[in-house]
Each structure stands twice: as structure tokens, then as C-alpha cells.
Amino acid sequence: MKKKVVSLSLSVGLICSGMVGASAFADSSKSPQTKKFNQSTGTPDFVAGKLTSPSAKSAKDIVLDYLEKNKAEYKLGSQSAYNSFIVKSKEADQLGGEVVRLQQVYEGVPVWGSTQAARVDENGVLEAVSGLVAPDLDKKGLKSFAKSQTQKQAIETAESDLGFKPEYEQAPTSELVVYPTGDKAIYAYHVNLNFLSPEPGNYNYFIDASTGKVVNKFNAIDTAGSQPATLTGSNTTGTGVGVLGDTKSLKTLLSSGYYYLQDNTRGQGIFTYDGKNRTTLPGTLWKDLDNNLNATYDHAATDAHYYAGVTYDYYKNVFNRNSYDNAGAALKSTVHYSRNYNNAFWNGSQMVYGDGDGTTFIPLSGGLDVIGHELTHAVTERSSNLTYQNESGALNEAISDIFGTLVEFYDNRNPDFEIGEDIYTPNTAGDALRSMSDPTKYGDPDHYSKRYTGTSDNGGVHTNSGIINKAAYLISQGGTHYGVTVAGIGNTKLGAIFYRANTVYLTSSSNFSQARAALVQAAKDLYGATSAEVTTVNNAFDSVGVY
């Protein structure tokens, strides 16, 4: 089986447990229409319906009151809901009302992997609560847990386990968390080691706060960065030739006699940098003398700059989302990163593109779906924040593949349902990294029964994404798969349903079964509970064996 990875992506989390099927309840003002229980914990992790009566209270209080009233079902023990959750964010829902995101805590310490999302409508009615709640923490020995290790010792343990000395982009960090481990829970330090040399890495370690042992570790790209310094000058329009030889119009800035790849017309700007084949970021802001980027060395910068603008426009024009954070964050890209670097990644603050080695890849910024993929990781980081491991990580990857593809269709530049086909194996016609229409073409599963269950690739995030990709393809295009016929509803509705699920209902620990519930609920919100769109989503997930 070919293993092909185009991005490392965002944060990584714990194993997401299995789910039981949805149960239907009587449709009343106080009985949920949908309720799903986590198979491992026995607690609800997706409830939707008219869960409360109308209220003039704040959305936060409505959600916490509901959790307190149902604390026995969520197995909070002696802890009150008011002390068990903190509000991480509140955001207006595009359909009215408010989305509240929570973090579970135990005696003030965050519980790793336990985040929740709730939707309150404009009348103060709680309509959905999703996300894993770690149960019975009072019974798991935390009160007697001896925290003998220090944050400094935890960092030293992680650095020792790493096996090499990196050049840090930012100082290592360490945070105390509650770390559930099956029937137990421990205090652990979450250590982050973030660097670009000798190879890009964002190593996340969990160090037992009592014994100092490593209990889990994973590597992903996820750093925090500041806004770039902006030049002053005159906004202009230039031209450039891309990696595939096509000419594009570029938004540039004229300053002190040079034309810079700085686009001031979108959000807080789009900036494209020259990495000069080094491994420091962001590099030097790209500049040109005649506003015509037609040299071979310019091609990667042309595409990175233009395609970042296309992706920004897609999210703004289709979903009214102002950049990845919905607050206009600047989009930074660095091209010519390192030498012969066969990858592209989002590092938490910017996109980074290698030039490829000319055989496996050509410059990766030449793929619009690759750029849409990377920027969607940023959108996910600022919304559901799906942890990049096991099913939640595969879901994270699939969402990036889906929206990378939808951006390609939006720009109508030879769109298809293949991923990375424009920049992968230039000497092999028709090859791609992954296929949404037929994941098995590249060795990825198209049904849950064929999922990868090992530990490599963070639990198969680039492999098992094929299951969700296939469901998404069927939602859009329709077809018969494993004997189940799905009526396609097109790309526009596919994007609307997945965007709503990602920004309203999915949480950091969502697995495939919870994703199905979230997508069905999103379709109900958008098109009605008995709509053809809801039927299509249900049938698509039936066809890939996700219930």
C-alpha cells in the first residue's frame, strides 16, 4: 500500500472511542430527537432537539444549567457542571443564536481531549450538545495522585526521549493536564517541542506527573506566530507564471521601487515569502522589479500568492468567513523551503511549501487543492480543533481534502476529486496522493470495515480519511456503494453541510460516528429534518459502514 503524506497539520489528541447508533425519541419541546452515547464511557456525546424551554439567560448559563441538570447522565459525580466546564469561546451562529465551546476541567485542571460544543437558538433554547465528557473523575484516584515531577523535569524528559537536539522556533512549553487512560486518569504534563530544524517538528509529549514516564507522544505541525510586518506603498496588480506554466493576475504592493507580494485587499493581508532554500521562517517578503513574475524561480511564489487569495475568497464569498480565524488574520506563505523538500504544511501561523525533488513532487504550491487543504487545517484549528490522531485526525484530514477539492471547483481550474494530482509524480500521468471518488486506487479504505487499526501515521490519519472522503464524494455526486444507493446533492450543499458541522458541532475528540451525527444535524438545520439532503447524508454514511 502506498503511503503518501502531503501535510502534517494541527494538534493531535487521544484515541476516540466507538459510538452506538442514534436513537429516535418523541418530538416534544423537552425530549431530544437524537441522542448518542459513547460506547466506552456510557455518557452522551451527541444530543440534539429542543433540549430546554425558551430562556432570557445567557447562552453560557443555559448550557451549564442543562449540564448540571443532567450531571448524573454525564457522570460528573460530586463535581458540579459549573465547576467542571469553562467556556473557551462564544460565536454567533449564522442561522441565529450562539455556539458555545467548552473545556472540561477537574479542580481547575484541563482534561485532555474533552471539549464540548453547544448550540443555543435565538429564543434561548438549547438545541444541541456534542463532545466527549470524561466520566467519574472523582473515582479515578486523582485526589491522591502525587505530583512529584516539575514542569522543567517534564521538558527534560521529553527532550531526552526526542533523541536529538533541535533548533527551537519557540521555547518548549509544559502544561499540567488530566490525562484519562481507560478506567483511570492521571495528572500529566503536556510538553510541546516546536522546531523547524533539522526537520520540521511539533512534538507533543505527555509525561506522567508522578513517575516521569512518557505515556503518549505524537508529532504534528502546530506553532503560534505573530502578524507580519506590513510595508506601506501603493496597491498594484501584477502578473506571474505559475508552476504549471499558466499566467495569473497578482495583487502586489509598490514600495520604494519594488513590487512586493503583499495583497492588502483581503483581510489583514496576504504575504508571500522566499525561503531561499533555508529552514527559517518566514523568510524574505518576495519582491520584484517589474511586477511580472515570469522567471522559473518565481513560479512557486506566483501560485502560493494567487491560490491563497482564491482560498480566502472561497471562504469569504461562500461562508462569509473572514480568513481562517474569521477575524481577518493575515495569510502568510513561504515557498522554496529547504532543498528538495517533498511536503507542504500549515504550522499554526502560516503555510510552508517545499520545491519537491522533481520526481516525487514539483513545487507543492502549484496545487490549488493542496493550498485549500492546508488553509482548511487552519479553519479546523480555530473551530472544531479536531485532534490529529486516530479517527478525529482522519476526520481532520478528510475535511481538508474535501475543502481543498471544493476550492478547486470554486476556481474552476481543471477541478476533480483527486488530491495533489497537479504536483505529485510529474512523470506519471494520472497519479495523485489520494482519491475521493475511489480511495482504494491509492491503497486507502472506502468502508469502515477496512479501516487501518495500527499506530503509524498517527493512527492512519492519511489512510482512514478515505472513508470520510468516499462518503463526501457520494453526498456530492451520488452513486451506489456496497449496495447502498445515494442521491447526490452537489458540491454547494456538500460544502455547506461539512462547514456547518465543523464550525458548530464537531469537537476535538469527534470520531466518525459522532461526525455522522453532526453532519446529519447540520443537514437538518440547513434543509429540514425530513429533507432529501438528510436522507443523502444518512445513506452515504450507511454505504461506508459508519453508524
User: Which of 47-61, 214-228, 475-489 is predicted with the least confidence, judged by mean pLDDT?
Assistant: 214-228
Question: Which pLDDT belongs to residue 30?
Answer: 43
Which of 433, 512, 505, 424 is CA-nearest to residue 468? 512
Residue 23 confidence (pLDDT) above 70: no
The pLDDT, as a whole number, for residue 10 is: 29
Identified catalytic residue from 377, 447, 462, 481: 462
Choosing from 98, 127, 169, 374, the catalytic residue is 374
pLDDT of residue 32: 53
The pLDDT of residue 22: 34
pLDDT for the residue numbered 228: 58
CA distances from 223 to 58, 173, 272, 350, 390 (A): 33, 11, 18, 9, 21
Residue 268 has pLDDT above 60, yes or no: yes
Q: What is the mean pLDDT of residues 506-526?
A: 98
Domains of the chain: 23-131 (3.10.450), 234-381 (3.10.170.10), 390-543 (1.10.390.10)
Burial bucket for residue 418 (CB in 10 Å: 0-12, 13-18, 19+)? buried
Please confirm, yes or no, whether 481 is among the known catalytic residues. no
- The answer, yes or no, to whether residue 201 has pLDDT greater than 80, is yes
Q: Over range 387-392, report the average pLDDT.
A: 93
Burial of 526 (0-12, 13-18, 19+ CB in 10 A): middle
pLDDT score recorded for residue 170: 84
| 374 has catalytic annotation | yes
pLDDT of residue 1: 35
Counting residues of the chain whose pLDDT is more than 90, the rounded percentage is: 84
User: pLDDT (tens digit, 9 = 90+) per residue, 70-104?
Assistant: 999 999 999 999 999 999 999 999 999 999 999 99
Mean pLDDT across the chain: 92
433 and 6 Cβ atoms separated by less than 8 Å:
yes
Q: Is pLDDT of 327 > 80?
A: yes
The per-residue pLDDT for 66 is: 98
pLDDT at 224 > cutoff 60: no
Mean pLDDT to the nearest integer, 306-310: 99
Q: Which of 119-128, 159-168, 494-503 has the lowest mean pLDDT?
A: 159-168
Over residues 384-407, the mean pLDDT reads 96
Among 431, 5, 436, 424, which Cα is nearest to 244's?
424
Confidence of residue 226 (pLDDT cuts 50, 70, 90): very low
pLDDT of residue 24: 29
Q: Please tell me the number of Cα atoms within 13 Å of 384 on its side-chain side.
A: 35
Q: Quote the pLDDT of residue 263.
A: 98
Looking at residues 292-316, what average pLDDT do you find? 99
Whether residue 518 is predicted with pLDDT greater than 70 in this model: the reply is yes
Angle CA 382–385–389, to nearest 5: 150
**Half-sphere exposure (Cβ direction) of 308: Cα atoms closer than 13 Å:** 38
